[in-house]
Amino acid sequence: MPEDERLTFKEMCAKFDVTPRTLRYYEYIELLSPDREGRARFYGPREVARMKLIMRGRMFGFPLEGIRQWLLIYENEGTETQMRLWVDIADKQLAELAEKRRELDEAMSELKRLRDDTQKALDQTT
Task: State pLDDT tens for residues 37-91.
Answer: 999 999 999 999 999 999 999 999 899 988 888 888 777 777 888 788 888 888 9
**Is residue 69, in this structure, part of any structural domain at all?**
no
Given 28, 62, 96, the domain boundary residue is: 62
Structurally, the chain folds into a number of domains equal to 2
Whether residue 36 is predicted with pLDDT greater than 70 in this model: the reply is yes
What does the pLDDT average to over 10-19? Answer: 97
Q: For the purposes of burial, counting CB atoms within 10 Å of the CB of 32, is it exposed (0-12), middle (13-18) or buried (19 or more)?
A: buried
Model-level pTM?
A: 0.71
The whole-number pLDDT of residue 1 equals 57
> Looking at the structure, do residues 23 and 57 belong to the same domain, yes or no?
yes
Taking the C-alpha atoms of residue 9 and residue 5, their distance in angstroms, rounded to an integer, is 13
> Looking at the structure, do residues 43 and 91 belong to the same domain, yes or no?
no
What does the pLDDT average to over 22-49? Answer: 94
Strand 7-8, strand 35-37: pairing? unpaired
